[in-house]
Amino acid sequence: MALVDSKQAIGAVSSLLQSQLTSRTSVGTVDIGRNETATSSDGPKFNLFLYQVDIDGHLRNQPLDHGQPTPLWLVLRYMLTAFDTGRDSDSSDAHKLLGEGMLALQELNFLHPADLALADNPEPLKITFDSSDAELISKVMQSSEEKYRISAVFQVRPVMIASGVAPAYSLPVKTVGPPGNEGVAVIPSLGPGLESVEPEKFIAGTELTITGTDVNASITEVIIAGESFAVTEAREGALKTTVPLTTTLSAGGHSLYLPLVLSGGMQVRSNCLVVQLLPEVTGASPGVPTALTTIVTGVHGDLSIDGRLLGGVDDSIFVAFYRNGVVDLMLEATGSVAQTSLVVTVTDEQALDADNYFIIVRVNGVQSTHAPEVNWS
């Protein structure tokens, strides 16, 4: 269908609301217009009154596509009034009908309109009930023959009316230079622009999904902290990669970006996002390699921790003994090239009470998601 049909969108919304109220309530008649029109015939019935049309401030300058003129993005404000069989809007029967009508309108949030004038609306229509204070209703209903009637006030947004003006498209620039001579290859963008990485915190072996603009199969690698990782899957707007278990990176926060290599060999880099590579603790053994010793002030000895990315010799590593909601002791540890194990020593001066402790490991400011419990006795 053509976008030109959207010029009928305001009337289409009113018709859609009318149809929704007719098909999903016990009322067979829905009048559109001012309330005095509805009181000219017997009920039960609804009256639907479009009393205000606003420009949607959030979408005011948002085009459907870059180069196209910005459409009108509208907020339609309606007032719904229910009438019983005696044309009264303030009886208990009318109030029951008003509740029916509000529920039917609420259900419209989950439907997809089939009207041609609304079919190309890029955003789903959202109905939101506003505060129907007495001052607003009185202003809307003021006339020489009309009285105050209890009503529900709601808005429908965003309603699009597209412009019929031709878009300002242009051909892509492939070279820069005199005609017939090969110039400098350019791309019709500033290169990839990153929006998100999921998950932002992860352990080695986790698959990452990277999304953004101009992110596609032309990008073949992901750079994290200067190390290259192959793209395992790519589609328009997103790609995937995995930091392998054998990575030499240390745990901590790292910058991530995407490089795009142009035909001349020049590299265009995306903006950077920060990701956190987490240490992974698989187990903790008290009394290894030095056995635990019990003295008057408590228990001291060694604790051996196993896992991955537990820190290298130049990394900041802390191990904490945690119980009853607080840290009883924190020790600084020294890592290794393999980053698969740590040993910390609780000296006799630091002796801990004999009890069960959770072991918290933090490397370069990030914490392992697993904190094993050990029996320190």
Do 10 and 140 belong to one domain?
yes
In this structure, what CATH number is given to the domain that contains residue 50?
Answer: 3.30.2000
Do 261 and 121 belong to one domain?
no
18 in Cβ contact with 32 (< 8 Å)? yes
Q: How many residues does the chain have?
A: 377
Strand partners, 253: 276
Domain boundary among 277, 297, 331: 277
Q: What is the pLDDT of residue 139?
A: 77
In this structure, what CATH number is given to the domain that contains residue 236?
Answer: 2.60.40.10
Q: What is the pLDDT of residue 108?
A: 81
Per-residue pLDDT of the chain (377 residues; tens, 9 = 90+): 356 778 888 998 999 899 989 989 998 889 998 877 777 777 799 999 999 999 998 888 888 777 788 888 999 999 999 999 888 888 999 999 999 999 999 988 766 666 655 666 777 788 999 887 777 777 777 754 567 788 999 999 888 888 877 777 766 666 655 455 555 555 566 779 999 999 999 999 999 999 999 999 989 999 999 999 999 999 999 999 999 999 999 999 999 999 988 766 778 899 999 999 999 999 999 999 999 999 999 999 999 999 999 999 999 999 999 999 999 999 999 999 999 999 999 999 999 999 999 999 999 999 999 999 999 99
Domain boundary among 277, 300, 325: 277
Rounded CA separation 337/84 (Å): 82
167 falls within a domain: no
Q: What is the pLDDT of residue 228?
A: 95
| pTM, two decimal places | 0.51
Residue 144 backbone dihedrals phi, psi, to 5 degrees:
-70, -20
Residues 6+ apart with CB under 8 A from 15: 115
CA dihedral 245, 248, 253, 254 (to 10 degrees): -110
> Residue 41, class by beta-carbon neighbours within 10 Å (0-12 exposed, 13-18 middle, 19+ buried)?
exposed
Do 137 and 79 belong to one domain?
yes
Do 269 and 294 belong to one domain?
no
Do 228 and 364 belong to one domain?
no
Domain limits at 328?
280-376
Residue 237 backbone dihedrals phi, psi, to 5 degrees:
95, -10
> Residue 350, class by beta-carbon neighbours within 10 Å (0-12 exposed, 13-18 middle, 19+ buried)?
middle
30 falls within a domain: yes
Residues 6+ apart with CB under 8 A from 171: none
Residues 6+ apart with CB under 8 A from 301: 286, 287, 290, 291, 292, 293, 345, 346
